[in-house]
């Protein structure tokens, strides 16, 4: 017996403890796995012994091994044994091991329930503490159910150390066993006001987490949290509370107002960057009108988060971000890629006409410096994105843009050749004025093709040759030296390019050939023309041998053609005319939705069946076949004529009726549009209209930089001209405002683009116009207050606009402009363009309001309309141009005129049967009936015809003579309105508007 | 007293990724060896090794002047380097990165206070300290973070149980 004890203690002396294990592993770097497996064998032996100290030591080592990635689940029972040791030093080792190794599916956890309960109620606070910590890691639904009561009792323990742990673990219990939340909640809430800050913070944590998913249930706690927010000094707790308020404010808008003050205080006082960041984030998310701009600067110390926050601010307060442009550009120099990418994202939203060139120039420098293709490619796409965004809105000089694109082709190893190519094509096709320049550039590119073809990667840079060849061919009349370009296109090296590019080369070589023939035939010397033909005949066979079908086919086709031409040339026959006829006709850009504008030819009913629909049983049988025959009907249109004349006339009538009622249909009545009806054809598809104010011709490959300079000069010139004009005006008017016009920084409005791209969307039918309601910024000091539509003869509408200056500065030179839609147009004085603004005939001192009237012509009145508009003005003190966007809302109601009507006329009208009826029910209207009627009369321009008890008939007329009749009945809180009108669309919209009026009260 | 009747006590099932919490804390050295790991959501043992290796490789590859927050798969990683040791914390997307960044430093300060022998944060000696006293470091960590949430940040309060244990062991 004694021997055994001695043997045990000697064994223990030679046992390894954790330190030995760590050292051992470090000393056996070569055969670590082997060493560890012997250690595990030793540990298994140790676990078999009775001595708890040995076991605890073994478990401690196992914990270390588990961390290194070894599976120790086989020792789970031994861990439970050590957990149940009465000695705290061993017990904590057991719990630690359990918290690291156990998970929900460990079956021995069932055995621990009683042990944990015993530990929870232990008089030693550390026993309880360690049990709670352990439990938080491996609590299962069963454990949660069994122990919920015990933990709840601990929440009121005398020791704060236990209380805080118990509170926090309750969150885990709630998740595993949701039934426990109801009984525990009052106590949890109590803990928010615990004298101990640790317990408080734990309770805040738990409630914040609970509230995040279900915020409205916790609104009642808001005052408590508000108190905590102003009193707590623990940053981590404050962050949680602010996050909670972030979730609560959308539900209770009043909370937002209350929060502004403490949040601003925190923003200005805290030294903790994390808290500052959280506050700013909440401010941004809640869109409180806070001094966000100043905060950005402080936050930008932490670049990544600063940029992240800025991108959020950009959406709401673009101006305040734009002032930090330099800072953001600096971030592009950062070594960290994620920062650079964030900065790039920001730049996208920041460009304007004024700074585009500058920003792109900086980006180009970065492209040259950039290491790693991914980032460089990202830069490339961003440059193109920035330039081409919203229809090249910010580009004022397209020659500059083309040279940027050409410069980009010199990038090695980019994958975005395709993107560059499509941009080149797009610009060359849509901006007519740029074509000569583009062709010159592309010719140079083709000439230097060998520089690009090194990269044969798919989508590689050689894709631009596709665009270059096409542009040179299509617009070959602009080429200076077409023979040289033709020669470049037929070089043997071309055969190494991808097939689809070769095909374009061959085809466009033919186009070039046609142009050259045309040029040379005028000359007396016919040898030059024959030499060109010979060149084609010499070079084309190379392409005829191509493995690519398309290339082969085109090449052999063209080769035969050229051979034939050569024969004719030798007989001195003039062929140029005929050859160029092959490629006659100019390619014009077409808006994507232009098809809609082509009127349907008279007599074609698109809805009519061309072939009688097959009977159902048949179609079921031949389901798969139908897929292939689907396209067929299109080709067999002529059959349509078989429909007999009468039927046709009837349909035509019906369609006309429908068109007349459709506000989106372009009607035949206005004289300018009549032409459409008579000669339907491609000529009326909207095409690009370009005018070029300053033609520039720069030979060779120019650097984009020189354009920046040129552009500067151009703008300077323009500015000078403008100033001259202004001076003249001032003289004429003798307006002694005394203040000289500041020639300092030019504002956005001053820059007129050198080339204009068609804004294709403007050509669309009005339903393509975007519309959103929340456009009016309630915080804007210069607010257009009230817009009323008054009515005049026919379909002219007078809109009186009240301008109120809510700012502190004097506003002058106001210009009112509206983006016309097809349906409604602002009437402008004769001689002014269709997009010119109207000058508001007065100036506004601070706090003053005044009214101006504008006349609109309206075609159809059956639909409500929203017109977008802008008001530009000059703030006198700072001499800055400001812009204010607004929307004019033409409701259908505003087209109604209060017209009295007698009851007998009213009855006749209803009997006539011409009117379509519709009805609407309003629930929960809590007002006397006569108030209700007064409201309809006032807001919707109706007059009461007759009233009997709780029933009334009402009448109104539209400016185009539509009759609108209402029968209003009320019972209790329900109001039903039966309505009749000869225009169902108008009626529907008027009823909707009435409904809205009552839903607001 | 708050009226608890109108509170809806259902806890909506939320995916783990959506919860706002700390997912794990790692301490690794420059060689990428894990010196301490603590997971606050269950991850299979086999996947832990792969995850650790991946995250650590990612953090180690970043230069000293690069940002300490990294987006990794569906969560974020906040890391800080102290001499030879990296402390890497995985957090869910909605957690405040900076607060975790500050928490890491707080943790290091506590460690420094406890292992007071080293004045410079984390030299090789302190790496050994952590390895040899893994259980104690775990106690410190457990005092600060419990089931993925910050529970205590006051240094002396964090160390109170540990000093009590040390006294027990000595006696």
Note whether residue A701 is domain-resident: no
Structurally, chain A folds into a number of domains equal to 2
Residues A790 and A886 in one domain: yes
pLDDT digits (tens, 9 = 90+) for A605-653: 777 777 777 665 544 444 444 444 444 444 444 444 445 666 667 777 7
For an interface test with B, give the residue of A236, A298, A333 to mutate (most B CBs within 10 A): A236
Note whether residue A861 is domain-resident: yes
Residues A885 and A905 in one domain: no
A892-908 in b/e form (b: 16+ CB < 10 A) is: bbbbbeeeebeeeebee
Note whether residue A34 is domain-resident: no
Is the CB of A606 inside 8 Å of chain B's CB atoms? no
pLDDT digits (tens, 9 = 90+) for A394-410: 777 888 888 888 888 77
Residue A354 · residue A750 · CB < 8 Å: no
Is the CB of A335 inside 8 Å of chain B's CB atoms? yes
**A residues 490..519 contacting B (CB < 8 A):** none
* Cα of A425 to nearest chain B Cα, Å: 38
- Rounded to the nearest 5 degrees, what angle is found at the Cα of A545, between the Cα atoms of A539 and A546? 100
Note whether residue A958 is domain-resident: yes
| C-beta atoms of A66 and B45 within 8 A | yes
Starting at the edge strand found earlier in the chain, the sheet holding A865-875 runs A838-839, A811-818, A865-875, A880-890
| C-beta atoms of A168 and B146 within 8 A | yes
- Which of A865, A890, A915 is at the close of a domain? A890
pLDDT at A358: 81
Residues A805 and A870 in one domain: yes
pLDDT at A285: 64
Residues A793 and A886 in one domain: yes
Note whether residue A108 is domain-resident: no
Residues A905 and A996 in one domain: yes
Q: Which residue of B has its CA nearest to A126?
A: B161
d(CA A209, CA B100): 17
pLDDT at A713: 65
Residues A852 and A927 in one domain: no
pLDDT digits (tens, 9 = 90+) for B42-83: 777 778 888 888 888 888 887 777 778 887 777 888 888 887
10 Å CB burial of residue B121 (0-12, 13-18, 19+) is: middle
d(CA A624, CA A643): 30
Residues A823 and A917 in one domain: no
pLDDT at A166: 92
Q: Which residue of A has its CA nearest to B155?
A: A198
- A963: CATH: 3.30.310.10
Query: Per residue, what are the HEC states of A418-461?
Result: HHHHHHHHHHHHHCHHHHHHHHHHHHHHHHCHHHHCCCCCCCCC
| C-beta atoms of B9 and A178 within 8 A | yes
Residue A443 · residue A476 · CB < 8 Å: no
Residues A878 and A957 in one domain: no
Strand segments, DSSP code E, in A118-160 are: none
- The whole domain housing A808 covers 785-890
Residue A232 · residue A268 · CB < 8 Å: no
**A residues 46..75 contacting B (CB < 8 A):** 60, 63-64, 66-69, 71
Note whether residue A840 is domain-resident: yes
Nearest CB among B11, B40, B160 relative to A175 is that of B11
What are the tokens at A440?
A: 């010159």
Axis-axis angle for helices B155-170, B97-114 (nearest 10)? 30
Tell which residue, B144, B152, B98, B159, has the closest CA to residue A234.
B152
Residues A914 and A934 in one domain: yes
Query: For A972, left (φ over 0), alpha (ψ -120 to 50), or beta?
Result: left
In whole angstroms, how large is the CA radius of gyration of chain A?
Answer: 41
For B93, half-sphere exposure in the C-beta direction (CA atoms, 13 angstrom radius) is: 8
* Cα of A326 to nearest chain B Cα, Å: 20
Q: Using an 8 Å CB-CB cutoff, list chain B residues near A275.
A: 99
Q: Is the dihedral of CA A786, A789, A792, A796 positive or negative?
A: positive
Note whether residue A212 is domain-resident: no
d(CA A397, CA A389): 15
Spatial neighbors of B24 by CB under 8 A, at least 6 apart, are B37, B38, B39, B40, B41, B43, B89, B90
Residues A816 and A857 in one domain: yes
Note whether residue A990 is domain-resident: yes
- Which of A855, A890, A925 is at the close of a domain? A890
Task: Collect the ranges in chain A with pLDDT lower than 50.
Answer: 1-3, 6-7, 10, 288-301, 618-642, 663, 665-702, 725-753, 756-794
What are the tokens at A26?
A: 């470090």
């Amino acid at each position: 017996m004694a021997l055994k004890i001695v043997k045990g203690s000697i064994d223990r002396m030679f046992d390894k403890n954790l330190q030995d294990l760590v050292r051992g592993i470090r000393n056996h770097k070569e055969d670590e796995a082997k060493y560890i497996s012997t250690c595990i064998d030793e540990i298994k032996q140790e676990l078999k012994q009775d001595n708890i100290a040995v076991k605890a030591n073994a478990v401690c080592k196992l914990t270390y091994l588990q961390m290194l990635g070894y599976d120790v689940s086989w020792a789970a029972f031994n861990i439970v044994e050590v957990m149940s040791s009465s000695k705290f030093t061993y017990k904590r080792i057991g719990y630690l091991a359990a918290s690291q190794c156990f998970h929900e599916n460990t079956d021995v956890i069932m055995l621990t329930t009683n042990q944990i309960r015993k530990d929870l109620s232990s008089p030693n606070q550390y026993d309880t503490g360690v049990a709670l910590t352990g439990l938080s890691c491996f609590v299962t639904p069963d454990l949660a159910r069994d122990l919920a009561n015990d933990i709840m009792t601990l929440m009121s323990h005398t020791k704060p150390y236990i209380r805080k742990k118990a509170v926090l673990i309750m969150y885990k219990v709630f998740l595993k066993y949701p039934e426990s939340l109801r009984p525990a909640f009052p106590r949890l809430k109590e803990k928010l006001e615990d004298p101990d800050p640790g317990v408080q913070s734990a309770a805040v944590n738990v409630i914040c987490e609970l509230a995040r998913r279900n915020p409205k249930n916790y609104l009642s706690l808001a005052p408590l949290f508000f108190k905590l927010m102003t009193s707590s000094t623990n940053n981590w707790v404050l962050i949680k509370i602010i996050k909670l308020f972030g979730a609560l404010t959308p539900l209770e808008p009043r909370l937002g107002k209350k929060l502004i003050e403490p949040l601003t205080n925190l923003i200005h006082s805290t030294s903790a960057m994390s808290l500052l960041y959280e506050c700013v984030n909440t401010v941004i998310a809640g869109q409180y009108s806070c001094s966000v701009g100043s905060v950005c600067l402080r936050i930008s110390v932490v670049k990544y988060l600063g940029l992240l926050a800025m991108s959020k601010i950009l959406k709401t307060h673009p101006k305040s971000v734009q002032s930090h442009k330099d800072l953001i550009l600096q971030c592009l120099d950062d070594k960290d890629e994620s920062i650079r990418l964030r900065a790039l994202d920001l730049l996208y939203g920041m460009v304007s006409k004024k700074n585009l060139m500058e920003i792109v120039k900086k980006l180009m420098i970065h492209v040259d410096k950039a290491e790693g293709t991914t980032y460089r490619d990202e830069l490339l796409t961003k440059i193109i994105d920035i330039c081409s965004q919203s229809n090249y809105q910010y580009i004022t000089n397209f020659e500059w843009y083309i040279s940027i694109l050409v410069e980009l082709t010199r990038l090695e190893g980019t994958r975005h050749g395709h993107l560059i190519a499509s941009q080149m094509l797009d610009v060359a096709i849509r901006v007519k004025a740029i074509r000569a320049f583009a062709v010159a550039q592309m010719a140079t590119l083709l000439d230097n093709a060998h520089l690009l073809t090194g990269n044969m990667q798919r989508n590689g840079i050689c894709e631009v040759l596709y665009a270059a060849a096409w542009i040179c061919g299509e617009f070959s009349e602009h080429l200076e030296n077409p023979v040289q370009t033709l020669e470049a296109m037929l070089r043997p090296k071309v055969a190494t390019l991808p097939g689809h590019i070769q095909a374009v080369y061959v085809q466009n070589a033919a186009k070039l050939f046609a142009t050259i023939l045309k040029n040379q035939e005028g000359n007396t010397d016919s040898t030059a023309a024959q030499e060109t033909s010979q060149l084609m005949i010499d070079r084309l066979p190379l392409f005829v041998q191509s493995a690519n079908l398309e290339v082969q086919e085109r090449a052999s086709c063209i080769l035969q053609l050229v051979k034939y031409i050569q024969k004719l040339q030798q007989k001195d026959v003039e062929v140029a005319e005929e050859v160029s006829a092959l490629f006659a006709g100019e390619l014009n850009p077409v808006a994507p939705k232009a098809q809609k504008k082509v009127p349907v030819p008279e007599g074609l009913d698109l809805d009519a069946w061309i072939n009688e629909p097959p009977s159902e049983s048949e179609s079921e049988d031949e389901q798969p076949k139908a897929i292939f025959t689907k396209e067929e009907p299109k080709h067999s249109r002529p059959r349509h004529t078989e429909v007999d004349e009468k039927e046709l006339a009837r349909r035509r009538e019906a369609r006309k009726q429908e068109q007349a009622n459709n506000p989106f249909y372009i009607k035949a009545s206005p004289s300018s549009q009549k032409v459409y009806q008579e000669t339907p054809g491609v000529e009326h598809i909207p095409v690009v209209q370009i005018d070029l104010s300053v033609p520039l011709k720069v030979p060779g490959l120019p650097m984009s930089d020189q354009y920046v300079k040129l552009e500067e000069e151009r703008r300077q010139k323009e500015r000078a001209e403008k100033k001259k004009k202004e001076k003249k005006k001032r003289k004429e008017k003798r307006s002694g405002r005394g203040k000289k016009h500041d020639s300092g920084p030019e504002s956005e409005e001053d820059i007129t683009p050198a080339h204009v791209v068609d804004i294709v969307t403007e050509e669309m039918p009005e339903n393509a116009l975007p519309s959103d309601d929340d456009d009016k910024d309630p915080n804007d000091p210069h607010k257009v207050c009230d817009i009323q539509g008054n009515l005049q003869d026919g379909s002219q509408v007078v809109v009186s606009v009240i301008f109120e200056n809510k700012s502190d500065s004097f506003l002058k030179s106001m210009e009112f402009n509206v983006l016309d839609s097809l349906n409604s147009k602002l009437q402008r004085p004769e001689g002014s363009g269709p997009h010119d603004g109207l000058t508001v005939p007065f100036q506004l001192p601070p706090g003053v309001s005044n009214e101006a009237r504008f006349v609109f012509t309206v075609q159809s009145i059956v639909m409500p309309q929203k017109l977008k508009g802008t008001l530009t003005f000059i703030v006198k003190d700072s001499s800055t141009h400001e812009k204010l966007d607004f929307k004019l809302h033409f409701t259908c109601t505003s087209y109604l005129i209060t017209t009295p009507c007698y009851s007998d006329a009213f009855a006749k009208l209803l009997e006539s049967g011409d009117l379509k009826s519709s009805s609407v029910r309003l629930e929960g209207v809590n007002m006397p009936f006569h108030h209700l009627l007064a409201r309809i009369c006032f807001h919707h321009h109706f007059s009461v015809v007759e009233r009997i008890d709780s029933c009334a008939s009402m009448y109104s007329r539209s400016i185009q003579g539509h009759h609108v009749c209402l029968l209003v009945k009320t019972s209790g809180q329900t109001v039903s309105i039966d309505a009749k009108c000869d225009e169902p669309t108008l009626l529907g919209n008027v009823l909707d508007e009435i409904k809205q009026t009552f839903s607001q009260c | 007293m708050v009226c608890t009747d109108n509170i809806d006590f259902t806890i909506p099932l939320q995916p783990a990724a959506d919860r706002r919490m700390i997912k794990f804390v790692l301490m690794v050295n420059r060689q990428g060896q894990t010196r301490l790991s603590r997971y606050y959501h269950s991850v299979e043992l086999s996947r832990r090794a792969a995850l650790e290796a991946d995250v650590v490789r990612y953090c180690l590859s970043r230069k000293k002047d690069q940002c300490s927050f990294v987006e990794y798969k569906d969560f974020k990683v906040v890391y800080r380097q102290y001499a030879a040791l990296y402390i890497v914390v995985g957090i869910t997307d909605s957690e405040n990165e900076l607060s975790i960044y500050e928490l890491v430093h707080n943790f290091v300060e506590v460690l420094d206070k406890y292992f007071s022998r080293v004045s410079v944060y984390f030299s090789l000696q302190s790496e050994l300290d952590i390895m040899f006293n893994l259980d104690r470091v775990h106690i410190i960590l457990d005092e600060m973070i419990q089931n993925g949430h910050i529970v205590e940040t006051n240094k002396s309060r964090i160390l109170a149980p540990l000093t009590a244990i040390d006294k027990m062991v000595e006696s």
